[in-house]
Amino acid sequence: MSSLALEGKSALITGASRGIGKAIALRFAAEGCDIAVNYVTEAGRDNAAEAAQTAEEIGGLGRQALCVEADVTDPLAVEAMVANVIKTFGKLDILVNNAGITRDRTLKKLAKEDWDSVIAVNLTGAFHCARAVIEHMRERQYGRIISISSVIAQMGNIGQTNYAASKAGLIGFTKSLAREVARRGITVNVIAPGFIATEMTQAILPDIMAQIVPTIPMGYLGQPEDVANAAVFLASAEASYITGQVLSVNGGLYM
């Protein structure tokens, strides 16, 4: 492998304006990859400015960056986004399905719209993105598709039936798609992070977090960069014979 694991590659990373998505974007760029930074318009938050900041940091690493606004729940918007990325970079080598939301409630209190919205973003969004890129990858006989699941998909959690279902769905989706495209030079894998220090975990009440940390064998929360390192490996030539797998990055929380 060259000194840069992703030299000459291009990637589309959904939800890349902050958190794990941003960490993956910057780590990929540091390894020589051009990056399409996907974000969605969101009330009360300037995701466009955050995406632009991510793009600026990618540029500082010497790589090309493209900010692409698209709601992954909208198949037409996703198709347009992918077409834009391919036109800009000339090709698309890597897709990272990272966009995700939570709407936590116990099942008794869970509204149908909260079930639908989480499934739509976390699972159906990944379907839209994979479907939009797969023919391009098949034609080129090369591709890497990486989806960000969760330890919650593997072990469950109170108040997260919708989230767990969506993230577990990604695992089944990945294993099936991996079988479909393996002979086309395309690998499809999942990363299942544990509790990672992001805005999502910062929203957890301190007393609840104080109960969670002791259950992690390593004794602390992971960092977004821990997930990004795993993503670089799965996207690199070193993982070319790995497909349909779940790589857990959870400090031993689930074994």
User: What three-state secondary structure class fits 31?
Assistant: coil
Q: Comparing C-alpha atoms, which of 133, 170, 168, 145 is closest to residue 243? A: 145
**Cβ pair 194, 151 in contact under 8 A:** yes
Helix, strand and coil in the chain, % to nearest 5:
50, 15, 30
Q: How far apart are CA 120 and CA 101, in angstroms?
A: 10
* Contact by Cβ (8 Å): 135, 179: no
Q: Helices then strands (H, E): number in the chain?
A: 10, 7
What are the residues whose beta carbons fall under 8 Å from the beta carbon of 237, sequence distance 6 or more?
1, 5
Beta pairing, strands 10-13 & 143-148? unpaired
Catalytic entry in 142, 163, 220, 241:
163
DSSP per-residue string spanning 63-106: --EEEEE--TT-HHHHHHHHHHHHHHHS---EEEE-------B-
Interhelix angle 19-30/224-235, nearest 10 degrees: 50
Rg (CA), the chain: 17
Active site residue 163: yes
Annotated active-site positions, please?
A: 163
